[in-house]
Structure 1
Amino acid sequence: MNAVIIAVLLMIILSLMRVHVVIALIIGALAGGLFGGLGMEGTIATFSEGLGENAEIALSYAVLGAFAVALTRTGLPQLLVDGAVRLIGRKGESRSKTLPKVLILFVIFLISCMSQNVIPIHIAFIPILIPPILQVLNELLIDRRAVASIMTFGLKAPYMLLPFGFGALFHNIVLENMELNGMDPAGSSMSLAMLLPTAGMFLGLLVAVFITYRKQRTYKNVPIESDNTNKPVSYTVYSIIFAILAVIATVIVQIIYGSMIFAGLAGLIILVFSRNVRFKESDALLTDGMKMMAFIAFVMIAAAGFAEVIRETGHVEQIVDASTAWMGDSQGLAAIVMILVGLLITMGIGSSFATVPIIAALFVPICAAMGFSPLATIALIGTAGAIGDAGAPASDSTLGPTAGLNADGQHNHIWDTCVPTFLHFNIPLVIFGWLAAVIL
């Protein structure tokens, strides 16, 4: 039996059985290497050699995580939250309910999108923003499934489309792994390739907010136990100015040098020398940032080792030959099969970032054999990598929204976050991702 199929299926099954995905990747790689004839020592050596492929990205996550934690200490996220609360009113008094509903949903949408590119704090804004306004959502009878859909969109679509912040990391992962697997993406714009898939997600968001979950839903006003993580952070004009300067510096360095490591470092340096973050706290700051991003970083490192073993077995070529023989000259059939394979793998792993090294090792040779252009290949890898992230129980894109919306115990992770986001985002992604691959 094909070693690649064994490795991928074993990894998916173990992940779905709630075995930690890093362990699942290691076991899957071991099985694939043994079935592929590498032997125990050869498999371990190959896996170890592959670990370094994503080391730069993992370090980028650590630095960007530290920058996110530092930004929260300046009070910039708290300023956004306070502005949102003042805008909508804590209970919507003296206003019709329509305007506060529109405003609160728009504010959540805006902050969610900004958290990936403009102010790259990832899911760190959720415990600051959502629990304090749950009573507002209750008073306005807003269906929290709509809010979960908005936040998941904001946590995914911006990095798929825009090459800034976490988008820079995602774009680099896709392009570098394409080149690593034998296809030169030079001159191809990933933003252009991901335009249609992102538009499909936006269409799904409109359906979720204005059709599926537009009706009122009643929740009880349950007291929320406060903790240190949800306490308001004080801020001053001085701290906000330097927070904005740090964000601008991060974007500029990223554009000029193309490195999120040094971009995040530039922002950190500004915050440290502005004394918004004390120098003696920098060690704890980096540790906190690493904790926040550790899951994705370690999964990506393990995924790189897994992908290296898959490539080394030589069984990828068998899949390519069998796939092209079965699919014939039908690019449309090939595109839909690859997207669905990406869905299965990403649902198991729970991270679009970590999935890319695995699916690129499979997709790039198939795309080359089937005559897909580099732009179409980017669309396929980007879509297949992102498609399972929405709706995956272990994904940050679903875990973050649930953590905030379930602060009072009235929001189910599977049925109120995972299922709605799976239905409203993955179906459009399949359709529009396939369309992008065929057109481009």
Structure 2
Amino acid sequence: MNAVLAAVVVMLVLSLVRVHVVLALAVGAIVGGLLGGLGIEGTISTFSDGLGGSASVALSYALLGAFAVAIARTGLPELMVERVIKLVGRSGDSRKKALSKALIFFLLVIVSCFSQNVVPIHIAFIPILIPPILKILNELGVDRRAIATILTFGLTAPYIFLPYGFGAIFHGIIADNMAENGLTIELAMIPEAMTLPTLGLVVGLLIAVLITYRKNRTYEAREIIGAQSEKQGYTTWSVIAAIISIVATLIIQTITDSMIIAALTGLIVLLMSGSLKWKEADQVVTEGMKMMAFIAFVMLAASGFAAVIRATGHVDLLVTQTSFIVGESQAAAALVMLLIGLFITMGIGSSFATIPIIATLFVPIGLAAGFSPLAIIALIGTAGALGDAGAPASDSTLGPTAGLNADGQHNHIWDTCVPTFLHFNIPLFIFGWLAAMFL
């Protein structure tokens, strides 16, 4: 059996039966390594060496968690809750609540999309923005699975379609790797090729928000992890300092492209302003790291898992084996190529890292099957993006969970990964296949 398929299937099955994701990744890596001929020592060594690949990302999450807890100490979340409750009212006016929910949904779509293209800060905004509004979402009865799909949409759709910010990087990776494998394209062709796949993501978002998760869901009134149990209280200065620190964090993240430096900047601003007391700093950082520890360890384990998958050499073998199966059928070839992209990205957790792997194999297969350059672009772009939504180790799912689980009431697998997989990967697969057939 192919080592890549076995490793990904084992990891997903274990995750779905509620085995901790870190353990699922470790067991999946061992299974893949053994089937790939690495041996137990080689597998463990490769896995261990690969852990360092996400060390900086893990530290970034930890510091962002500390910053999020520090923001909670300023009283800004309490002010936001008071203002929104005043707007919504406690009278149970269903119309006002529906309008408030629609406004929040719209703003989150805009902010998450902007984080990819306009102000490319990626997931840095989530631990800062989402925890403070959890109480508001509870007041409105919002199903957090709807918020997870909104955030994941905003973290995925813009970069696969728009050639700006992270989209420019993604499109550049596609074009460069296709050229290296004998098919030179214009960058302007990529948005055209990715129009249908992106439309699939839009369809999935509308289904999730308007149908699947439109009903109210009740959550307990819990404090954010790391926040003090008593009412914080706030002053005009503490709120201003919190806003300044958030703006400074976003600006530094944009300039330096470092979430570590950005989070440190935000903490320093709060400390220098006096909104965060020096004697509380140690506790705040510790509590913030506790809040984000799950995400950080998943990122580390995912890096080791990806290293083992690459080391087996079975990615190339998987495509070679399937190329003999599909023969000259374009429909079958497109189907199998997208399935391969889904499994690889679900395992690696990064669409950006998947493109160089699959382009080497998809370009010659696509040309041999008679696909047009636009169709090959659609297949590579879609296959790379498949799995980014729904993968347990993807930034696009870990980011939303980091914010929505700040009070311990949002399960990463069943409340983020499964909803985003069903609503995004299925339509993305269908619309990507249609794009390959008609372009």
Q: Note whether the superposition's TM-score is higher than 0.5.
A: yes
Q: Does 1:259 align with 2:244?
A: no
- Residue 91 of structure 1 and its aligned partner are, at CA, apart by 1.9
Q: Which residue of 1 aligns with 2:34?
A: 34
Mark the CA change 1:343 to 1:81 in structure 2 (over 3 Å): closer, same or farther: farther
Question: Which whole-Å CA distance do the structure 2 matches of 1:169 and 1:273 have between them?
Answer: 32
TM superposition score normalised by structure 1: 0.71
Matches within 5 A, 1:408-423: 423=422
On the 8 A contact 1:307/1:357 being kept in 2, the answer is no
Question: Which whole-Å CA distance do the structure 2 matches of 1:324 and 1:56 have between them?
Answer: 38
Q: Which residue of 2 aligns with 1:61?
A: 61
- Residue 238 of structure 1 and its aligned partner are, at CA, apart by 1.5
- Residue 66 of structure 1 and its aligned partner are, at CA, apart by 1.8
Q: 1:280 corresponds to which letter in structure 2?
A: K
Question: Which whole-Å CA distance do the structure 2 matches of 1:34 and 1:45 have between them?
Answer: 12
TM superposition score normalised by structure 2: 0.71
Q: Which residue of 1 aligns with 2:107?
A: 110
Mark the CA change 1:174 to 1:41 in structure 2 (over 3 Å): closer, same or farther: farther
Q: Which residue of 2 aligns with 1:80?
A: 80
On the 8 A contact 1:48/1:305 being kept in 2, the answer is yes
Q: Which residue of 1 aligns with 2:146?
A: 150
On the 8 A contact 1:7/1:31 being kept in 2, the answer is yes
Question: Which whole-Å CA distance do the structure 2 matches of 1:252 and 1:235 have between them?
Answer: 25
Q: Which residue, out of 159, 176, 179, partners 2:155?
A: 159
Q: Does 1:20 align with 2:17?
A: no
On the 8 A contact 2:341/2:358 being kept in 1, the answer is no
Mark the CA change 1:162 to 1:124 in structure 2 (over 3 Å): closer, same or farther: same
On the 8 A contact 2:302/2:349 being kept in 1, the answer is yes
Q: Which residue, out of 121, 126, 130, partners 1:122?
A: 126
User: RMSD across aligned C-alpha pairs, in angstroms?
Assistant: 4.8
Segments of 5+ residues of structure 2 without an aligned counterpart are: 116-120, 181-185, 367-372
Question: Which whole-Å CA distance do the structure 2 matches of 1:231 and 1:128 have between them?
Answer: 15
Question: Which whole-Å CA distance do the structure 2 matches of 1:7 and 1:253 have between them?
Answer: 39
Segments of 5+ residues of structure 1 without an aligned counterpart are: 138-143, 408-412
Q: Does 1:98 align with 2:82?
A: no
Mark the CA change 1:405 to 1:301 in structure 2 (over 3 Å): closer, same or farther: closer
Q: 2:275 corresponds to which letter in structure 1?
A: N
Deviations 1:402-440 (A, max 9, x none): 998989xxxxx96x9887766544433333455677899
Question: Which whole-Å CA distance do the structure 2 matches of 1:169 and 1:20 have between them?
Answer: 34
Q: Which residue of 2 aligns with 1:380?
A: 383
Mark the CA change 1:359 to 1:270 in structure 2 (over 3 Å): closer, same or farther: same
- Residue 41 of structure 1 and its aligned partner are, at CA, apart by 2.1
Question: Which whole-Å CA distance do the structure 2 matches of 1:171 and 1:294 have between them?
Answer: 29
Mark the CA change 1:265 to 1:15 in structure 2 (over 3 Å): closer, same or farther: same
Mark the CA change 1:329 to 1:293 in structure 2 (over 3 Å): closer, same or farther: farther
Mark the CA change 1:174 to 1:51 in structure 2 (over 3 Å): closer, same or farther: farther
On the 8 A contact 1:60/1:260 being kept in 2, the answer is yes
On the 8 A contact 1:113/1:154 being kept in 2, the answer is no
On the 8 A contact 1:324/1:366 being kept in 2, the answer is no
Q: Equivalent pairs: percent with the same residue? A: 43
- Residue 46 of structure 1 and its aligned partner are, at CA, apart by 1.6
- Residue 368 of structure 1 and its aligned partner are, at CA, apart by 4.8
Deviations 1:224-281 (A, max 9, x none): 6889767654222222222222222222222222212112222221122112222333
Deviations 1:102-137 (A, max 9, x none): 223322553586489489463676665455665655
On the 8 A contact 1:2/1:315 being kept in 2, the answer is yes
- Residue 86 of structure 1 and its aligned partner are, at CA, apart by 1.9
Mark the CA change 1:281 to 1:174 in structure 2 (over 3 Å): closer, same or farther: farther
Q: Which residue of 2 aligns with 1:204?
A: 204
Mark the CA change 1:418 to 1:262 in structure 2 (over 3 Å): closer, same or farther: closer
Mark the CA change 1:210 to 1:46 in structure 2 (over 3 Å): closer, same or farther: closer
On the 8 A contact 2:127/2:402 being kept in 1, the answer is no
Question: Which whole-Å CA distance do the structure 1 matches of 2:407 and 2:24 have between them?
Answer: 28
Deviates more, 1:58-67 or 1:283-292: 283-292
Matches within 5 A, 1:222-371: 232-328=231-327, 333=332, 336-337=335-336, 339-340=338-339, 354=349, 363-370=358-365
Mark the CA change 1:150 to 1:306 in structure 2 (over 3 Å): closer, same or farther: closer
Deviations 1:87-110 (A, max 9, x none): 2222256xxx43442223322553
Q: 2:79 corresponds to which letter in structure 1?
A: L
